Amino acid sequence: MFFIFWAAPALTKMTAYADQVRGYTWRVSVSNEMNDFASLARHINAQTESQPQEGLPQKGPYLSSVTQNSIIVSWRTVTPDSSFVQYGLTSEYGNEEKDPILKTAHSLTLMGLLPDTVYHYRVLFEGIQTPDYTFRTAVPSDTTFRFCVHGDTRTQPDSHLAVINTVAALDPYFNLHTGDLVENGYSESQWAVYFATICSSATCAQKIPFYYAIGNHEHESPLYYDYFYLPHNNPDSTESYYSFDYGNSHFISLDTEIPYGPSSDQYQWLRADLRDSHHKTFVFMHDHPYCAGAHDSNIGLRDTLSPLFEAYKVDMVFSGHSHFYQRNGPINGVTYIITAGGGAPLYAPAESSWTQYSEKCHHCVLFTIWSDSLKFRMVRTDGSVGDSLVCQAQEKPPAVCGDANGDGEINSVDVVYLISYLFRNGPAPDPLWVGDCNCDETINSSDVVCLIDYLFKGGPPPGC
């Protein structure tokens, strides 16, 4: 049953039509002259009696946290049921993973898999089974791979679906999402539409693992954390921010909606994580340190995190938030890409001295990663290519005693860094031993003197 009530003189188009959207029998598409769905919400009240699409769970299945030897398969059912996945190298399967506990939120980890291998799988639920799907396990460090990035998929499901179909056609090994999946992270109905788009109207999340960075529209909602199964390797063992390795690259998801200043847990974790990585490194997060137009640059984010990105030679930083495509830089060695045309209403980009390319369009970005270089293409929903570039990866410096700030050089900046750590509650050298310049197993003012002697008085170099 479907009911619509409205009184909206600004309304210029409204359609209701049958669609294969899981969890909903009908789908509503509305727009006005400003394409402002938030204002239309004041005039339209739609109620649906939800019925799952035949042969599919209420949400899913969808994939996450893929490694060379494992992957997580998740789905939701209307009624409590056991969890059961069949999988194998062919559609004959031959392996199974199950959990007899009755529940509506299902997640099973398939383990003991082979690297860089295509597997078939299907989910059995409520006495029926899904179609056959496939996934690929992560590749070894010497193998070429590709991934997609997009973000800001809220508000316009038709535009979002066009982007998802583009992602599926490009067939990446995994996908990064830069946040703002939905308009309101507390709305179950909006999550239903999101999952319907990526799992039902298109065959995408069933075969491509998704990794997410949380956006401002998720509002740190418990629903976000409930639906997704992402890595847990930050100090609080949460999915708010995390990192993972894939092939020869390292990926870091940050949460720009919680504290990220030098005294925060997120900053300290990020610094340690960057210091330990000697791979190509990519950061994805929602807000942007560099942006021309729309929300413009977040200067606090730039002043706080960009020095870390530069010191540890991050290759690229992906952001969302301003609904367009824009490539900025390299700025001190780091390229910043805004990829926020995932379906939300588009904004007009501007220009700056560091802007290399901007475009107002729905899109995703496809990356191909080789051993020493990478290529990316901004792909519009009609399949045409906008921006593209081939670039070399940055080499990551090893830890060196005396290089207190970890930028690969020993100079006066390290003296200032040590003084800040010792006397101004600044961040610690990481690893800590690089600040022990005289090798007495403590870090104090004598290490500052040792460093000054080396730099300005011809003294011995730091280290034992």
The three-point CA angle 382-388-391 to 5° equals 155
* CA–CA distance, 96 with 124 (Å, rounded to integer): 10
Of 283, 215, 304, 315, the residue nearest 255 (C-alpha):
215
- How high is the pLDDT of residue 25? 36
- What domains can be seen in the chain, in order of their start residue? 2-48 (no CATH), 59-136 (2.60.40.10), 145-392 (3.60.21.10), 399-464 (1.10.1330.10)
DSSP characters for 33-65? TT--HHHHTTTEEEEE---PPTTS-SEEEEEE-
Whether the CB-CB separation of 253 and 212 falls below 8 Å is answered with: yes
Contacts 24+ apart (CB under 8 A), 170-173: 170/146, 170/364, 170/366, 170/379, 171/146, 171/208, 172/146, 172/147, 172/148, 172/208, 172/366, 173/136, 173/138, 173/139, 173/145, 173/146, 173/147, 173/208, 173/246
Contacts of 177 (CB under 8 A, 6+ apart): 149, 150, 151, 153, 210, 211, 212, 213, 342
Cα–Cα distance list, 179 to 220, 265, 318, 355, 448 (Å): 11, 21, 11, 22, 43
Helices and strands (H, E) in the chain, number of each type = 8, 23
Based on C-alpha coordinates, what's the Rg of the chain?
24
Of 381, 385, 353, the residue nearest 368 (C-alpha):
385
- How high is the pLDDT of residue 54? 58
E strand or H helix at 18, and its extent?
strand 11-21
- How high is the pLDDT of residue 21? 37
Whether the CB-CB separation of 85 and 110 falls below 8 Å is answered with: yes
- How high is the pLDDT of residue 26? 37
Q: 18, exposed or middle or buried, with CB in 10 Å at 0-12, 13-18, 19+?
A: exposed
* Beta strands at 118-125 and 95-111: parallel, antiparallel or unpaired: unpaired
pLDDT tens over the chain, length 464 residues: 333 333 333 333 333 323 333 333 334 444 443 344 433 333 233 333 334 555 678 999 999 999 999 999 999 999 999 999 999 999 999 999 999 999 999 999 999 999 999 999 999 998 999 999 999 999 999 999 999 999 999 999 999 999 999 999 999 999 999 999 999 999 999 999 999 999 989 999 999 999 999 999 999 999 999 999 999 999 989 999 999 999 999 999 999 999 999 999 999 999 999 988 878 999 999 999 999 999 999 999 999 999 999 988 999 999 999 999 999 999 999 999 999 999 999 999 999 999 999 999 999 999 999 988 999 999 999 999 999 999 887 766 667 889 988 887 899 999 999 999 999 988 888 777 788 898 887 899 999 999 999 999 999 999 76
